[in-house]
């Protein structure tokens, strides 16, 4: 699981040789102008949290504080050992004189207390109650009262799990907290982030992460947990041979608490609902900058939905959204020019860092520069490779239009007509759990980040994947906002999953112009892009949750039912001459676990419980399947 193997300030980046000299200069400058201290800060219940602090030596002015709270360690430990700020854009914060603070959250690494994953927010706290918001309040209170030459203004930011702690910080209510940037924030681990998408379990990411991260840490430590030896280079074969989810449980032993919790709560019950970070987003006081990636495999859902929750639940809050064409955390790296085979035409990460994030914190924490907009969204549209600005997101001008599936694999804005003499029209495939559809054609073990824009031709060639597409577009088609899959289906069993993929099909003669290839890379493109089927957005729905995530229900074999669900927002332009394609399938392996296609408890069922299912997707006048797109004129 990519997001979990780097610390916030050590996220690997592509560093060009031309930068090495300036990095060396920055490293020397930082050492000459900063010093490091380490402190334990006492929380209201007595737990002491380990905190690493980098302070400017300049005593002629007062300095703002920029805090990150993390479960991934604020290493290196020791006041003589420093983070490599110099090879990241964070070095500019040090040039601006920020006090940089990182804290191990409660129960992780060198901090005391008991760790809890996505600890629930307590709205009405009583004496002795603690949560991540209260821990943030107590940390900020200590920092502003004890750090020399601070200006009394604090900002908080973090990517991924530290993004969750940033969201909780926004709800802490401390008057010194002026600006917060939750970036790819973990938000709802049942509905759309990391471990579940619409109830379907992302076992590969979950197990590769929790097999190490989830190990208990009874006492504060500087040593991280050991990983699990999978003895495999092929994730598809490994998870297929491991079999039912109960077999993965046997591999964990009895020590990984959260893994057992996942299995114990197969539906979106109160346990999950209290762990939805959006429950904290009322009456938010600091300015907010939510950041995420269009192609973030881990927490794309979180970024869109934290912003939307703030707009709905705290409408007076200054809240902005930035979504670029990035994988998880790519905006914090040095190269935002491309993802996999898809080019973006410029270094989008560099633009974001210098045009959005640094000016945001400079204004609210230093009073420097012009006031940024208090509302609005800066969204990068892939396909046309342009940034667009909106007063609010989703864009008010988006028009909901349905593209209907047609017989013979067509797509049309017009509903299909009933076929034959009163008979239903449908497309059919057999979903076989013994031969699930892979999420990518490559053989590898670690889940790739590039699958979010991968070529889907491998899937289109399978008999258990339905393909619907338009003819070549006569004009550009721009869509911006959430996409809704609206399927009319019947199955031969009592449960099934549904994967819908929105795809941009490039012309057969397409080649990237060398001018579109940004950065110090070759100007020739090694991958054959003619006919490329770019995944723009895909997501899965566990069919049993089609009516309710709280109360799953079986299908009645052969009965036509509606499976309707929302995919994360899209910002993409299908260029003139391209085609728009929809693929429908019932497995996405091993990205998502296999559905046994029977209405049984998937977390406890046996290998013998898996069944083939005949899936029919209807496209006639009375049962018109389609995809609802937010079209921007």
Predicted confidence at residue 517, as pLDDT, reads 87
Predicted confidence at residue 417, as pLDDT, reads 83
Nearest to 168 by CA among 119, 129, 125: 119
Residues in the chain: 633
Q: Provide the token pair at 157.
A: 């930011």
* Domain residue spans of the chain: 30-188+276-390, 399-508+525-632
Note whether 30-188+276-390 and 399-508+525-632 share their fold: no
**Exposure of 547 by Cβ count < 10 A (0-12 exposed, 13-18 middle, 19+ buried)?**
middle
Q: Which CATH fold topology does 399-508+525-632 show?
A: Jelly Rolls (2.60.120)
Please give the Cα distance from 271 to 267 (Å, whole number): 9
Predicted confidence at residue 19, as pLDDT, reads 41
Q: In 483-501, which positions are buried (b, 16+ CB within 10 angstroms) versus exposed (e)?
A: bbbbbbbbbbbbbbbbbbb
Tens-digit pLDDT profile for residues 473-486: 999 999 999 999 99
Predicted confidence at residue 526, as pLDDT, reads 83
- The CATH code that applies to domain 30-188+276-390 is 3.40.50.1820
Residue stretches of the chain with pLDDT short of 70: 1-25, 418-424
Predicted confidence at residue 418, as pLDDT, reads 66
Tens-digit pLDDT profile for residues 194-237: 999 999 999 999 999 999 999 999 999 999 999 899 999 999 99
Strand 287-293 to 177-183 pairing? parallel
Please give the Cα distance from 572 to 585 (Å, whole number): 23
Strand 177-183 to 200-201 pairing? unpaired
Q: Provide the token pair at 627.
A: 């995809």
Please give the Cα distance from 211 to 253 (Å, whole number): 10
Global confidence as pTM: 0.95
Gyration radius of the chain's alpha carbons? 25
Residue indicated by tokens 């046997």: 250
């Amino acid at each position: 699981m990519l997001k979990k193997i780097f610390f916030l300030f050590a996220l690997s980046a592509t560093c060009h040789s031309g930068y090495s000299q300036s990095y060396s200069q920055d490293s020397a400058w930082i050492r000459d102008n900063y010093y490091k201290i380490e402190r334990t800060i006492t929380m209201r219940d007595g737990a002491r949290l380990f905190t690493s602090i980098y302070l400017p030596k300049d005593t002629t002015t007062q300095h703002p504080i920029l805090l990150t709270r993390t479960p991934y360690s604020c290493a290196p430990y020791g006041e003589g050992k420093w983070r490599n700020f110099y090879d990241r854009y964070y070095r500019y914060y040090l040039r601006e004189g920020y006090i940089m603070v990182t804290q191990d959250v409660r129960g992780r690494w060198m901090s005391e207390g008991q760790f809890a994953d996505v600890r629930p927010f307590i709205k009405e706290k009583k004496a002795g109650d603690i949560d991540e918001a209260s821990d943030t309040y107590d940390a900020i209170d200590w920092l502003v009262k004890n750090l020399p030459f601070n200006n009394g203004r604090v900002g908080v930011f973090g990517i991924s799990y530290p993004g969750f702690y940033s969201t909780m910080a926004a709800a802490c209510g401390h008057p010194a907290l002026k600006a917060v940037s939750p970036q790819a924030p973990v938000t709802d681990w049942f509905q759309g982030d990391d471990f579940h998408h619409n109830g379907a379990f992302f076992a590969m990411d979950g197990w590769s992460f929790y097999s190490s991260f989830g190990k208990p840490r009874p006492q504060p430590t500087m040593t991280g947990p050991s990983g699990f030896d999978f003895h495999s280079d092929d994730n598809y074969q490994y998870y297929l041979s491991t079999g039912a989810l109960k077999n993965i449980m046997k591999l964990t032993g009895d020590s990984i608490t959260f893994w057992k919790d996942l299995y114990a709560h197969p539906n979106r019950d109160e346990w999950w609902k209290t762990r939805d970070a959006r429950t904290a987003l009322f009456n938010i006081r600091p300015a907010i900058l939510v950041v995420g990636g269009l192609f973030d495999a881990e927490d794309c859902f979180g970024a869109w939905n934290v912003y939307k929750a703030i707009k709905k639940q705290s409408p007076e809050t200054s809240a902005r959204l930035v979504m670029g064409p990035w994988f998880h955390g790519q905006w914090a790296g040095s190269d935002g020019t491309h993802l996999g085979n898809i080019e973006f035409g410029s270094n989008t990460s560099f633009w974001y860092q210098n045009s959005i994030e640094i000016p945001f914190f400079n204004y609210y924490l230093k009073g420097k520069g012009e006031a940024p907009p208090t509302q609005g969204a800066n969204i990068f549209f892939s396909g046309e490779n342009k940034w667009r600005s909106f007063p609010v997101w989703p864009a008010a001008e988006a028009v909901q239009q349905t593209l209907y599936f047609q017989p013979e694999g067509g797509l049309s804005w017009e509903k299909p007509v009933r076929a034959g003499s009163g008979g239903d029209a449908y497309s059919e495939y057999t979903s076989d759990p013994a031969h699930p559809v892979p999420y990518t054609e490559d053989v590898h073990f670690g889940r790739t980040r590039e699958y979010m824009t991968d070529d889907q031709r491998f899937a289109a060639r399978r008999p258990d994947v339905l393909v619907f597409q338009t003819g070549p577009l006569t004009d550009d088609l721009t869509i911006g906002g959430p996409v809704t899959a609206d399927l009319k289906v019947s199955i031969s069993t009592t449960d099934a999953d549904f994967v819908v993929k929105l795809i941009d099909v490039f012309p057969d003669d397409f080649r990237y112009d060398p001018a579109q290839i940004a950065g110090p890379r070759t100007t020739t493109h090694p991958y054959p892009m003619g006919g490329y089927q770019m995944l723009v957005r895909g997501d899965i729905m566990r069919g049993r949750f089609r009516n309710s995530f709280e109360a799953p229900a079986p299908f009645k074999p052969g009965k036509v039912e509606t499976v309707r669900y929302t995919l994360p927002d899209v910002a993409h332009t299908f260029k003139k001459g391209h085609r728009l394609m929809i693929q429908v399938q019932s497995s996405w392996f091993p990205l998502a676990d296999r559905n046994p296609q029977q209405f049984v408890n998937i977390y406890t069922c046996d290998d013998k419980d898996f069944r083939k299912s005949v899936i029919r997707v209807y496209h006639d006048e009375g049962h018109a399947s389609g995809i609802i797109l937010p079209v921007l004129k």
